[in-house]
Amino acid sequence: MRFTRLGMTFRPGQRIIVGLKGNLDQREYSIYSGENDDYLEILIREVKGGNVSAKLKNCKPGDLLDVNGPFGSFGIEPFNLFTAKHIFIATGTGISPFHSLVRSYPGIDYTLLHGVSLCKEAYGCEEYEPDRYILCTSREYFEGKKGRLTDYLLKFNVKKNMIFYVCGNSGMIYEAEHILKEKGVTQKNIISEIYF
């Protein structure tokens, strides 16, 4: 969903709270757009029976939203921008802050591991350099990457200059952190943002 920015400033990786104007049902969403875009974007997965996603899905141009924020400190420290290899690990719409980071900081050294159930959930995959985007699907075959993201991570070659950023559901995050620590990655080099 794209909407007017109205001068809001944010750091890539931050989130906002969004809901229909005057409605008490609101939800946090990581910002999908880049910090220099003249609009705000969020990536929404419709949840059946959800109070917010279904309402946002039915928005039409001109509808008013309540937008609060930005909040959070998830993202890349400025001194690490061009000195580290950034490994972005996301499930589903957890890809949002990484889209914002890549769009905001052209030239950073990154690899994006994206875990989804089906290939059609590879949101915006064409916007990343093909050799930097690795899609892991758990319910269908896709270019040799079949299986859960954490299964792929078990085989991932960790190097000393890597910083790992993990965003998505809590189960994946806990499992990914465990795998990375088993591979010798220190806690200070694992930065997490839990969605649900």
The pair of structure tokens assigned to 93 is 């719409």
- Parallel/antiparallel/unpaired status of strands 133-137 and 110-116: parallel
* 3-state secondary structure at position 73: coil
Separation CA 98–CA 108 (nearest Å) = 12
* 3-state secondary structure at position 192: strand
Please check the confidence at residue 196 and state whether its pLDDT lies above 60. no
Q: How confident is the model at residue 143 (pLDDT cuts 50, 70, 90)?
A: low
**Could you tell me the CA-to-CA distances from 75 to 100, 109, 118, 165 in Å, in that order?**
10, 14, 27, 8
Please check the confidence at residue 145 and state whether its pLDDT lies above 70. no
pLDDT in tens, 46-90: 888 888 998 998 899 999 999 999 999 999 999 999 999 999 999
pLDDT at 119: 85
Domain 78-194 CATH (choose: 3.40.50.620, 3.40.50.800, 3.40.50.80, 3.40.50.300): 3.40.50.80
**Extents of the domains making up the chain:** 2-71, 78-194
Separation CA 168–CA 177 (nearest Å) = 12
